[in-house]
Structures are given as structure tokens and as C-alpha cells.
């Protein structure tokens, strides 16, 4: 009939039968009081003589195998612990395990083992009658725990059962771009991109004592998204109920961005080839239409006096509309060809304020007609960047033109604020307008090819996609923040040295 829920132990399978496995089995074997509530049901290692495999045979572990893949289809396993230290093994296990089976890698295992060892040490010290010895040993324990936390580059936090942060390591504070003291007392949920999903994760760990999500998005102070592989576990009190939650988050942002860039590069390459072919095919009939339209306009100018006045006016207006739309279609095809080109960059020293001023001069007639005020804020002695000025100017012209169109959407008379400052080995340029803003549902799509939220006839969906592609090529990046109906800010980061 099975074990009652209160007595049921977590069934564990271990990958890697080395010394770490032996130590883990020894800890579980020594837990005669059942505090860990763990039962080892399997160990996998190609070496049958490995120390962990030998101890597993002594303990009578039922499943001993050379291939850890034997665990994937088992129904009697609740938790898989990877002690191999092999990233390839960890990746395969994380992908292949069914959702009901939890997974812990060697980093988290060592951390939890240290936490349990420290808790046992503290309990032993508290039972000592000699207060002087007790104080010295507690100090040593705190220093050891602090060393584990401070030396880790992962996000590690301790929270109460409601998710309120009790402590945060310096590595986690650095990854989130905030000070540790400001995080203490706030809910960890406040720093996540999807609060509801993380609240569900907290409920799961309180119910199951362990929970993991492979991709959890956090919001950095600068508004950027950071992605973590998050593992949560509970610390139980004397009554067996959870009192605190330990969280470990491994930063996987760079890997996910690289993956997205590779996917985007493949997609853009395919679309670029198609766009180039389409543009070349369309340009030929467009040239013919424009030529014929010009001939008709000349004939109207030469013989139009023989026509009734209203007929001549109607024909003149029709020809002007035809030529205007032909030129507009030609502009679109040129944009497609520019998007498809992948010429080598011409790298030279560039002063960004001067390049931005040139871009503003290019758009001066439009900004004057809209009565737009441009405010500048350059950091003194801003260093030059080694980049392609033509490509980078295309970025700024596109962004400034978008800002002007956003202000035009509110009737003109707005403000564009441009700032440039050094940020380590990069220069950051922000372009902010008080135009119509960007709807929330559009912010994740505005860099997609052919996506536009402008009215029909106002946009092609190429501008921001080209901007994103250029900056990726130059080793830079772009981010957007906006409030619909109020403002939009684009932040462009350009490295001082070109990418290899």
C-alpha cells in the first residue's frame, strides 16, 4: 500500500561513483535518525570498482549500472544527483529526465552538504557547556559559511518561507547590479521578470522541499534581463516544517544570448538572400514604371493645353502619386538590399558626439518642421571608439528618425535627449524622446524583421532590425525601455575596440 506521506523518503539515484559519491552515501548511511529523508536506489559509474560503487554494494543499493541513462525511464526515482562534474552529462540529464524527477548537479550538492555539515556543527556547539569553546567554534563556522558564499560567482540567497531575502552573497548582488543591503528585507519575487511563475516555484519548494527551473528571468537594476538556472531547497526547523529557503542561481545569460544570436544570424542570412533576390526582381519593373510615368508627365506638359482643365489636373495629380509611390517602393527595395549586404567593416577612430551631430544635421529639416528641441549631454573627454562610422551613423539616423516620428505622433513640439558616457571598455549612448511610446506587447518584437507598429504606409519593419544587425556586427548591443504614451529610450552600447 506504500509508505504514508509523512514517512516517505526521497528516492535518489547518483551519477558518478567516485569519492564524492562515497561521501554522500556515507552521510546518508549515517543518518540513522532519518533527518535527511533520503534513500539511495541507484548508482551509475563505468568503473565497477569505484569507491562509491563499492560502498553502494555494501549498502545493498538495488540498481548498480555502468550507464546513467538507465535512470531516465525508471518510475522509482525522485531525485538524480550528478557528481560527474561533466557539463555534457549534466546537459543530457537535464534534457532527458521526466518533469517529475528533480535534478541536482555537483555544485549544488556540495553546497547543500556544506550547509548540512555546518548545521550539524552548530547543533553540536550549542550543546557544549563551555561558552568560550562555543563562541570560538561558532565564529569558525560563520567564517566558513561566509567564505562559501562570498567566493561563489553564482547567485546565492537565503530567504524566509514568504520569499523575503534574509541574506544575499556578493556574487548575486553583482549579477543583479544592486547593493546587498538594499536587497535584504525585500522579496526575491520583486527581482524576477515573471513574479507569478516564481511564486509558483516558491510554493513548489515548500511543498516538495526542492524545486528547480532551468530558465528563470531576473531584472537587473539597469532594466536588462539576466537568466539563471535556479535551484531551491528548504531548511527545516525542529518540528520538521520549513523555516528558510536556500536559493542558488547559475547565470546562463551569455549562453542564451549566444544561442539567440546564432538563431537570428541564420534566420537573417536566409531572409537576406531572399530579400536581395526579390529586390532585384522588383527594381526592374519599378524602373520601367518610373520611366513611363516620367514620359506621360512630359506629354501632359507639352500637349496638356488641349485637354479640359479638370482632366489635366486629375492626370497631373495621378502621375505625381504614381511617381511618389514608385520612389517609395524603390526606397524599400534599397533597404532590403542594404539589409542583405554583408560587406566588411571599415574600422577607424570615431568620436561619437561628432557622429551624432552629423546624424542630427541630416535630419535637421524634419526636426525644425516639428519644432523638436534636442538636448545633448556628453561626458567630458569622451574617448574615441574603433568602429565603422558609416554603419554606426546608420544606427543613429534610424533611431533619431524613429524619435521624430514618435513625437510627430503626438503633434510635434517634443524633446529628444541624447547622452553619451563611458562605461568601462565601452561607450553608452541613450536617445530618449517624449513621443507616443511603445505598447508593452510590441517591445519584445520591435527588433524582428518586418515587424512594425506604425500606421500603414509609415513603416517597413526594416529600420530597427537593421540597427540590431549592425550593432551585433560591430560587437555592440541595443536595449529599449518605454512607457506607452509617455516616452521611449533606446540605449546603444558600442565597444571601444572592435570584436575579433
Output the pLDDT for position 269: 63
Read off the C-alpha cell for 415. 524633446
At residue 461 the predicted structure's pLDDT band, cuts being 50, 70 and 90, is low
Residue 136 has pLDDT above 90, yes or no: no
Task: Give the whole-angstrom CA distance, residue 198 versus residue 200.
Answer: 5
With vertex at residue 475, the alpha carbon angle to CA 470 and CA 480, rounded to the nearest 5 degrees, is 65
At residue 265 the predicted structure's pLDDT band, cuts being 50, 70 and 90, is low
- Count the residues in the chain: 500
Q: Tell me the CB-side half-sphere exposure of residue 130, using CA atoms within 13 A.
A: 4
At residue 57 the predicted structure's pLDDT band, cuts being 50, 70 and 90, is very high
What average pLDDT score do residues 20-26 get?
87
Task: Give the whole-angstrom CA distance, residue 77 versus residue 245.
Answer: 24
**Tens digit of pLDDT for each residue in 293-307?**
788 888 887 776 777
Output the pLDDT for position 61: 93
212 touches 100 (CB < 8 A) = no
DSSP 384: P
Output the pLDDT for position 151: 67
**Tens digit of pLDDT for each residue in 341-361?**
544 457 888 898 998 988 888
Task: Give the whole-angstrom CA distance, residue 64 versus residue 148.
Answer: 33
412 touches 406 (CB < 8 A) = no
Q: For all residues of the chain together, what is the average pLDDT?
A: 81
At residue 335 the predicted structure's pLDDT band, cuts being 50, 70 and 90, is low
437 touches 488 (CB < 8 A) = yes
Residue 455 has pLDDT above 60, yes or no: no
Q: Tell me the CB-side half-sphere exposure of residue 482, using CA atoms within 13 A.
A: 22
**Tens digit of pLDDT for each residue in 167-217?**
888 888 888 888 888 888 889 998 898 899 899 999 999 999 999 988 888
144 touches 118 (CB < 8 A) = yes
Output the pLDDT for position 299: 80
Output the pLDDT for position 150: 65
Higher pLDDT among residues 349 and 463, named by residue:
349
Above pLDDT 70, what percent of the chain? 79
At residue 499 the predicted structure's pLDDT band, cuts being 50, 70 and 90, is confident
155 touches 248 (CB < 8 A) = yes
Output the pLDDT for position 432: 93
- Strands 155-160 vs 63-65: parallel, antiparallel or unpaired: unpaired
**Tens digit of pLDDT for each residue in 405-449?**
888 888 877 899 999 998 888 999 999 999 888 888 777 777 776
Above pLDDT 90, what percent of the chain? 18
386 touches 496 (CB < 8 A) = yes
Task: Give the whole-angstrom CA distance, residue 498 versus residue 345.
Answer: 10
What average pLDDT score do residues 134-160 get?
73
406 touches 363 (CB < 8 A) = no
What average pLDDT score do residues 69-76 get?
88
At residue 4 the predicted structure's pLDDT band, cuts being 50, 70 and 90, is very low
Residue 335, strand partner residues: none
What average pLDDT score do residues 385-390 get?
87
Read off the C-alpha cell for 350. 570615431
Higher pLDDT among residues 105 and 458, named by residue:
105
Number of CB atoms found within 10 A of residue 287's CB: 12
Output the pLDDT for position 6: 40
Lowest mean pLDDT among 19-33, 145-159, 427-441: 145-159
Output the pLDDT for position 91: 86
Residue 1 has pLDDT above 70, yes or no: no
Choose from 159-173, 274-288, 302-316 the range with maximum mean pLDDT. 159-173
Output the pLDDT for position 331: 65
Residue 128 φ then ψ, to 5°: -70, 140
Output the pLDDT for position 121: 65
Amino acid at each position: 500500500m506504500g509508505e504514508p506521506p509523512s514517512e516517505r523518503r526521497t528516492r535518489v539515484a547518483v551519477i558518478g561513483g567516485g569519492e564524492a559519491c562515497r561521501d554522500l552515501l556515507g552521510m546518508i548511511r549515517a543518518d540513522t535518525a532519518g533527518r535527511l529523508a533520503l534513500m539511495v536506489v541507484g548508482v551509475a559509474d563505468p568503473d565497477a570498482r569505484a569507491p562509491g560503487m563499492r560502498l553502494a554494494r555494501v549498502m545493498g543499493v538495488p540498481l548498480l549500472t555502468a550507464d546513467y541513462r538507465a535512470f531516465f525511464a525508471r518510475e522509482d526515482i525522485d531525485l538524480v544527483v550528478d557528481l560527474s562534474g561533466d557539463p555534457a552529462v549534466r546537459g543530457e540529464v537535464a534534457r532527458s529526465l521526466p518533469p517529475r524527477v528533480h535534478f541536482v548537479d555537483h555544485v549544488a550538492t556540495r553546497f547543500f552538504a556544506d550547509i548540512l555539515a555546518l548545521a550539524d556543527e552548530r547543533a553540536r556547539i550549542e550543546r557544549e557547556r563551555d561558552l568560550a569553546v562555543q563562541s570560538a567554534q561558532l565564529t569558525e563556522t560563520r567564517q566558513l559559511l561566509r567564505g562559501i558564499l562570498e567566493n561563489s560567482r553564482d547567485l546565492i540567497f537565503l530567504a524566509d518561507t514568504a520569499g523575503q531575502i534574509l541574506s544575499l552573497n556578493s556574487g548575486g548582488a553583482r549579477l543583479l547590479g544592486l547593493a546587498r543591503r538594499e536587497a535584504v528585507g525585500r522579496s526575491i519575487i520583486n527581482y524576477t521578470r515573471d513574479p507569478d511563475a516564481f511564486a509558483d516555484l516558491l510554493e513548489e519548494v515548500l511543498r516538495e522541499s526542492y524545486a528547480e527551473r532551468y530558465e528563470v528571468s531576473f531584472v537587473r537594476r539597469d532594466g536588462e534581463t539576466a537568466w539563471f538556472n535556479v535551484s531551491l531547497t528548504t531548511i527545516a526547523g525542529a518540528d520538521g516544517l520549513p523555516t528558510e529557503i536556500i536559493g542558488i542561481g547559475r547565470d546562463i545569460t551569455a549562453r542564451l544570448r549566444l544561442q539567440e544570436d546564432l538563431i537570428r544570424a541564420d534566420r537573417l542570412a536566409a531572409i537576406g538572400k531572399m530579400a536581395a533576390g526579390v529586390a532585384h526582381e522588383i527594381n526592374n519593373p519599378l524602373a520601367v514604371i518610373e520611366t513611363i510615368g516620367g514620359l506621360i508627365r512630359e506629354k501632359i506638359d507639352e500637349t496638356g493645353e488641349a485637354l479640359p482643365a479638370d482632366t489635366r489636373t486629375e492626370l497631373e495629380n495621378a502621375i505625381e502619386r504614381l511617381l511618389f509611390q514608385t520612389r517609395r517602393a524603390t526606397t524599400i527595395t534599397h533597404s532590403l538590399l542594404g539589409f542583405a549586404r554583408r560587406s566588411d567593416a571599415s574600422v577607424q577612430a570615431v568620436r561619437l558626439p561628432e557622429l551624432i551631430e552629423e546624424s542630427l544635421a541630416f535630419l535637421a529639416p524634419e526636426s525644425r518642421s516639428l519644432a523638436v528641441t534636442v538636448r545633448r549631454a556628453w561626458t567630458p573627454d569622451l574617448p574615441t571608439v574603433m568602429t565603422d562610422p558609416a554603419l554606426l551613423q546608420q544606427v543613429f539616423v534610424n533611431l533619431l528618425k524613429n524619435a521624430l516620428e514618435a513625437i510627430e505622433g503626438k503633434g510635434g513640439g517634443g524633446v529628444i535627449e541624447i547622452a553619451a558616457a563611458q562605461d568601462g571598455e565601452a561607450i553608452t549612448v541613450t536617445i530618449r524622446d517624449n513621443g507616443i511610446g511603445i505598447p508593452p506587447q510590441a517591445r519584445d518584437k520591435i527588433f524582428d524583421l518586418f515587424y512594425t507598429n506604425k500606421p500603414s504606409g509609415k513603416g517597413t519593419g526594416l529600420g530597427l532590425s537593421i540597427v540590431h544587425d549592425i550593432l551585433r556586427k560591430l560587437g555592440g548591443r541595443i536595449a529599449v525601455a518605454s512607457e506607452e504614451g509617455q516616452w521611449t529610450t533606446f540605449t546603444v552600447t558600442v565597444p571601444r575596440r572592435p570584436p575579433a
